[in-house]
A and B are shown apart, each in its own frame.
Chain A
Amino acid sequence: MDSNNDDTLDIIITNVVATFRTRCHLNLRTIALEGTNVIYKPEVGKVLMKLRKPKITASIWSSGKIICTGATSEEEAKQGARRLARCLQKIGFKVRFSAFKVVNVLAVCSMPFAIHLVDFTKKNRPIASYEPELHPAATYRIKTIKATIQVFSTGSLTVTGPNVQNVATAVEQVYPLLFECKKPLCK
């Protein structure tokens, strides 16, 4: 989804986090006993249920809130969430699938060039921050689309945002800035 130069960048979505509510109180112990592929964590108060088909791990809370992680696309996240709700329904709870929302999308991207992080940070002073002693990547936050991009000196990027569209937009936005600061041949 990169409308820049000749080369197109591959943005690979690695993780989609979504939440939904079942609108009913869930008995964690029942789920833990009768559900398949569940991990009960009574110390925290949640049950993890792992699905194979969309490779998804869901944290189920007794209030009925479910957080679904591990999907590779928004569609898959929704599919997995519905399947999970179906699972709970089969166990016996009066589950209703409501308030499904993708909360976070994590994608990685790789620039075909290395980046000079100090230059990049200097040019984008308030928006980008770089603390090499803490973390080897420079962090670039785009407030408007609420996306965060971590820029590594090798040219790799990790982008997190509220949805896939925002992530794509963020990459497009940051590309020219990175291009300016690309490291010359001496990588």
Chain B
Amino acid sequence: MRELFLDEGLEDCVLDDLRHLWETKMMESKAMDDFRKNNSDSPNFVLQLPPNYSRNDAEHAAPVVIPASQNIHSFPVQNNSETLATFSLPAGLSYPVQIPAGVTLQTATGQLYKTVTERIEPPVPPPASSQPTERLPREPSPVPVPTLVDSLPPLDSFSLPSQESSLPQQDPMPEYPQFEIGSEEVLTDTPQFKSSDIDDILKVVIEEEREKAARARNLAHAKFYDQPQSVLGLDLDYNYNALSDIVQLDGAADNSDLEEEDVSLEENDFLGMINAEALKALQEGGVSSDGNSSSSSSDSEEAEELDQVEDEDPLNSGDDVFEQDIPDLFDSENIIVCQYDKIHRSKNRWKFHLKDGVMSYGGRDYVFSKAIGEAEW
């Protein structure tokens, strides 16, 4: 990516500025983020292990294989006061990197990624600049708890076997099969998490992502990498090219239609109810709205018709007509902007097969490549 920028004659700082801008935006939208930054500074990758990692476990973890590259990193192990083992991976890391279960990864810029006990591809940023490897005191909670996910209201009728289309984004997953451990205690930590700095937020978010990625494993392929290899432990399956694609996708693939802020849809009182018709119309309408031109032409027609004598027109300019007894149920801010595969309706039962969408739900932003929903009107 950096090379591309350099080729175009832009400076490195432009790229850095972009990155910082993007980071702040992502933080503000509380989206789960995967910071693939193209920092060509000293790429140090810090592996932080939970406290229960013993030396023996570390040996298990030793087969961190990097098949693609020939670099075999040595692990300088430092033990800080909290008995966390810290590994730092040398620069020039090329992917895929296999990381053992239960490892929390912290990138140079402080991004945290915690790998789960199941197969997952936690986002591994490209070589990032080195960072102090201090660990937060809350870090030693190796229990893979879906904190934020649990705090989401149960989405009964709105099941999303969603897929992470890109690692930085977050998918809501209503089922949390394995990871119910100690959810309560961590839930109390959640507000603290939220109020603390970005690292904490990321950490919690990563845990969620872990869950979803674990499920996402079994679903359709992710955009940026192929089917992960089902190897014991974890695979980080990337190409560096894929990474650069990721960065571009944020900007280039934007379609002006899909800007969520432009549309404010009204929702029914059923969870997950999208104004599917409006969305469909959005999609079908295309990019430019020629509605303006046609409505102006219809206005001229109306003017003519108003002059004509009407046969029976009891509707006296709306004075007689009663207002809506039930106005829009509530103008919730939950909104989904996406494309549809199939929308089906039987009487008042709706079924949605959606794809490639972003949604804001419960104040948080999510992205999915596939979503299936049901609702009653």
Contact = CB atoms under 8 A, between A and B. Distances in A.
Interface in A24-66: 24-27, 29-30, 32-33, 36-40, 42, 50, 52-53
A40 B280 contact: yes
Interface residues of A, number: 33
A151 B325 CA distance: 40
Interface stretch (B47-55, B213-221, B232-240, B299-307): B299-307
Interface stretch (B15-23, B193-201, B243-251, B311-319): B311-319
A93 B297 CA distance: 12
B282 A33 contact: yes
Interface residues of B, number: 35
Nearest to A29: B291
A96 B315 contact: yes
A57 B212 CA distance: 40
A111 interface: no
A5 B345 CA distance: 45
Contacts of A99: 311-312
B298 A40 contact: no
A39 B324 CA distance: 19
B326 interface: yes
Nearest to B268: A37
B155 interface: no
Contacts of A27: 291, 294-295, 298
Interface in A94-134: 94-100
A85 B321 contact: yes
A40 B284 contact: yes
Contact of B284 (A38, A42, A83): A42
A95 B315 contact: yes
A37 B277 CA distance: 8
Contacts of B281: 29, 32-33, 38, 40
Given A29-B285, A30-B295, A50-B377, A24 B280 contact: no
Interface of B: 266, 275, 277-278, 280-282, 284-285, 291, 294-295, 298-299, 301-302, 305-306, 310-315, 318, 320-326, 328, 345, 377
Nearest first, the 8 closest Cβ-Cβ pairs linking A and B are: A97-B315, A32-B281, A86-B321, A25-B298, A24-B302, A94-B302, A98-B313, A40-B281
